[in-house]
């Protein structure tokens, strides 16, 4: 939907005290959040669909790299001298030591700290230290092992094994502009299943109850526009100030500062478009009850390159992470702790939670396909 169409639907909902409704009520077994077997199935799925690895802006320059685990597998993505992003299994072809950790920039390539085997940005083996000790080892057959990589819509996607489906890439529009830059990156872990942490941003039914002093004074309770596309969804969270547009001609309507768009990219990523920055969240499951966050905050498209504009982005980010996001994280961790007992056999997702229902339907569908086709 266009911004204008979304704004009109929000204004109609506000006038009628309604919200977008899904068609289904979904009962998700609690065991699906606790089971080690289910967790291992999900991790296998993560290797079989295109997964968001990082924003393209994190690899803006030649030699920029990001090294992290995805589905428990250490990977290394780097932008080459030809401008192409390539991803490799992060393991030296000699004895398997990881070549890099975290993020940074290398001018010429990667040198293993163990025995100094050296690789170019394109993954080719460039030097074997003590070459005479390795007769018969051909350099062109011992480059880093590649992982399928695609750049789409300002995001880097990787697929570790033969593709089961297009996943998030099915029907996905361009989401991040080529002029956007990362101004902050953080990572931390929470004692909660990855799905619990994702679900907190899939509905606005909880705004007044959970965010009474943070988001609710500025936004509506249980007023959302929900769009489903492919395996993904887009949820719109409007600000109360959108009412100022009601008496203006639609030609003057602007979404910035009036709407927050939250794209849920299957399976484990969300991209929120906020007033003065974009928030990209990637959740890496570590175990059924532990998840690592990778968070990139980007300047909005067309942002002025001034200290004042950057400060606006930083203030926008600080309000979000220091208030409502903390409440969401605490809620997910509380649910995780409560699952130690037998209080629930299932969690119920109602018609106000259509995006969460869609997420679980897609996850079940993909896991069924994985079981059938291996």
* Pairwise CA distance, residues 228 & 354, whole Å: 9
- Cβ 44 vs Cβ 70: under 8 Å: no
- Whether 77 and 155 share a structural domain: yes
Contacts of 45 (CB under 8 A, 6+ apart): 164, 267, 363, 366, 367, 370
Supply the DSSP symbol for 249.
Answer: -
- Cβ 40 vs Cβ 25: under 8 Å: no
* Pairwise CA distance, residues 291 & 283, whole Å: 6
Per-residue tokens: 91 = 């393991």
Domain boundary among 162, 183, 218: 162
Name the strand (E) or helix (H) holding 298: strand 290-298
State the virtual CA torsion across 38, 42, 43, 46 in degrees, nearest 10. 180
CATH number of the CATH domain containing 85: 2.102.10.10
**DSSP one-letter string for 96-165:** ---S--EEEE-SSEEE-TTT--EEETTS-EEE-TTGGG-TT--GGGSSPPEEEEEEETTEEEEE-SS-S-
- CA 263 to chain centroid: 9
- Cβ 152 vs Cβ 168: under 8 Å: no
Q: Would the pTM of this model clear 0.95, i.e. be above it?
A: yes
In this predicted structure, what is the pLDDT of residue 212?
Answer: 95
In this predicted structure, what is the pLDDT of residue 337?
Answer: 98
Domain boundary among 101, 129, 162: 162
- Cβ 272 vs Cβ 201: under 8 Å: yes
State the virtual CA torsion across 273, 314, 329, 38 in degrees, nearest 10. 60
pLDDT tens-place string over residues 38-92: 999 999 999 999 999 999 999 999 999 999 999 999 999 999 999 999 999 999 9
The b/e string for 90-110 (b: 16+ C-beta within 10 A; e otherwise) is bbbbbeeebbbeebeebeebb
- Whether 31 and 60 share a structural domain: no
- Whether 42 and 60 share a structural domain: no
pLDDT tens-place string over residues 250-303: 999 999 999 999 999 999 999 999 999 999 999 999 999 999 999 999 999 999
| Residues in the chain where the model's pLDDT stays below 50 | none
Nearest to 328 by CA among 283, 360, 362: 283
Name the strand (E) or helix (H) holding 40: helix 36-46
Q: What total of structural domains would you count in the chain?
A: 2
- Whether 188 and 304 share a structural domain: yes
- Whether 155 and 192 share a structural domain: no
**Cis (ω within 30 of 0) for the bond into 31?**
no
Residue range(s) defining the domain that contains residue 354: 3-48+169-373
Domain boundary among 162, 189, 205: 162
């Amino acid at each position: 939907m266009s911004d204008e169409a979304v704004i009109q639907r929000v204004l109609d909902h506000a006038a009628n005290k309604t919200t977008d409704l899904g068609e289904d009520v979904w009962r998700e077994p609690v065991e699906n959040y606790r089971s080690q077997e289910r967790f291992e199935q999900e991790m296998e799925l993560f290797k079989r669909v295109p997964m968001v690895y990082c924003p393209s802006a994190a690899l803006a320059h030649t030699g920029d790299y990001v090294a992290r685990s995805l589905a428990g597998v250490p990977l290394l993505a780097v932008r080459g001298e030809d401008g192409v992003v390539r991803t490799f299994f992060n393991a030296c072809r000699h004895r398997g030591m990881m070549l890099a950790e975290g993020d940074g920039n290398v001018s010429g390539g990667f040198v293993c700290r163990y025995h100094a085997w050296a690789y170019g940005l394109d993954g080719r083996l460039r030097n074997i230290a003590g070459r005479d000790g390795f007769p018969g080892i051909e350099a062109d057959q011992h480059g880093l092992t590649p992982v399928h990589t695609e750049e789409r819509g300002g995001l880097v996607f990787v697929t570790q094994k033969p593709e089961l489906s297009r996943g998030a890439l099915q029907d996905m529009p361009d989401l991040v502009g080529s002029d956007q830059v990362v101004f902050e990156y953080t990572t931390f872990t929470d004692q909660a299943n990855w799905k619990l942490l994702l679900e907190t941003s899939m509905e606005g039914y909880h705004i007044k109850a959970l965010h009474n002093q943070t988001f609710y004074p500025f936004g509506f309770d249980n007023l959302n526009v929900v769009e489903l596309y492919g395996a993904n969804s887009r949820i719109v969270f409007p600000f109360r100030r959108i009412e100022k547009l009601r008496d203006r001609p639609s030609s003057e309507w602007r979404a910035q500062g009036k709407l927050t768009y939250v794209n849920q990219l299957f399976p484990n990523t969300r991209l929120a478009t906020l007033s003065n920055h974009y928030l990209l969240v990637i959740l890496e499951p570590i175990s059924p009850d532990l998840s690592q966050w990778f968070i990139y905050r980007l300047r909005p498209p067309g942002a002025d390159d001034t200290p004042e504009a950057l400060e606006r982005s930083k203030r926008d980010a600080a309000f979000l992470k220091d208030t409502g996001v903390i409440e969401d994280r605490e809620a997910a961790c509380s649910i995780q702790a409560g699952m130690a007992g037998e209080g629930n056999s299932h969690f119920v997702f109602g018609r106000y939670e259509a995006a969460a229902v869609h997420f679980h339907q897609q996850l079940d569908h993909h896991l069924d396909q994985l079981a059938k086709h291996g």
